[in-house]
């Protein structure tokens, strides 16, 4: 096995963890009331990623800053 392949194998779980944390960050920022553009800037990803992540949450509506619709 080449050194590059071994390094890629070691990186894979870290990359998955990073993507999971980024997804959680996007959701939490939306629940905090940030807009899509603000979320994109903070999370450091593109709008497609933000839209794809938040599409299932549309049923919650758009919360105002600091307010949560969850009970």
The model's pLDDT over 7-53, given as tens digits with 9 standing for 90+, comes to 666 656 668 889 999 999 999 999 999 999 999 999 999 999 999 99
Q: Tell me which of 64 and 50 has the higher pLDDT.
A: 50
Contact 61, 69 (CB under 8 A): yes
The tokens describing 35, both together, are 């807009």
Q: Summarize the confidence of residues 58-70 as an average pLDDT.
A: 62
| Residue 63 within any structural domain of the chain | no
Is there a domain that residue 65 lies in?
no
8 within a domain of the structure (yes/no): yes
- Cβ within 8 Å of residue 39, ≥6 positions away: 26, 29, 30, 50, 54
How many domains does the chain contain in total?
1
Residue 53 located in a structural domain? yes
In a domain, 66, yes or no: no
Full domain range(s) for residue 24: 3-58
Residue 64 domain flag: no
Q: What is the pTM of this model?
A: 0.66
pLDDT of residue 21: 95
């Amino acid at each position: 096995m080449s050194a590059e392949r071994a390094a890629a194998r070691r990186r894979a779980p870290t990359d998955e963890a990073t993507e999971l944390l980024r997804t959680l960050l996007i959701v939490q920022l939306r629940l905090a009331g940030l807009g899509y553009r603000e979320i994109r800037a903070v999370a450091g990803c593109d709008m497609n990623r933000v839209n794809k992540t938040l599409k299932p949450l549309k049923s919650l509506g758009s919360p105002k800053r600091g307010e949560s619709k969850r009970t």
